[in-house]
Amino acid sequence: MKQLLLILLLSCAGCTAVDTKPLAAAPAAATPSAPVADEDAASLLVRIRNTIGSASCTASAECKTVAVGARACGGPEGYLAYSTSVSPAAPLEALAARHAERRRAAVAASGMASTCNVLPDPGAVCDKGMCRVGSDFN
């Protein structure tokens, strides 16, 4: 047993710790779905907005919504409109899922409560060449 322990200790004598932090964060608009270690909810929301960009459109069919955030009782905190002609849905949804995960963790850690109202998806429309959340027009 002592021999095995000595062998293990000697074999790890040359081991070094591996730094798992990224070398440099990529620009948000260049790689919207690339994970960044320890990225907080606020940073993810900025990346979501950068990925959405101008949300320019020519027809309402190009406009969609993405759920962002997380309420204490479940469901999203809100919706953002985006244009499918500008932003691909898959990377945007991946960012939104990570953002919701961070917000759920923050809400759980803070003990925050909510009204537990269900926030329905308001949809999105093309207005003056820009996708807008549908509830902006009610």
Kindly report, residue by residue over 34-73, the tens digit of the pLDDT: 455 568 999 999 999 999 999 999 999 999 999 999 988 8
pLDDT per residue over 67-93, tens digit each? Answer: 999 988 889 999 999 999 988 889 999
User: CB under 8 Å to 127, separation ≥6 — which residues?
Assistant: 136, 137
DSSP state for residue 77 in the 8-state scheme: S
pLDDT confidence of residue 117 = 85
Instruction: Compute the mean pLDDT over every residue in the chain, rounded to the nearest whole number.
Output: 76
For residues 101-129, give the mean pLDDT.
89
Q: Is the pLDDT of residue 105 over 80?
A: yes
**Three-class SS state of 68:** strand
pLDDT at 22 over 80: no
Task: Specify the pLDDT at position 16.
Answer: 29
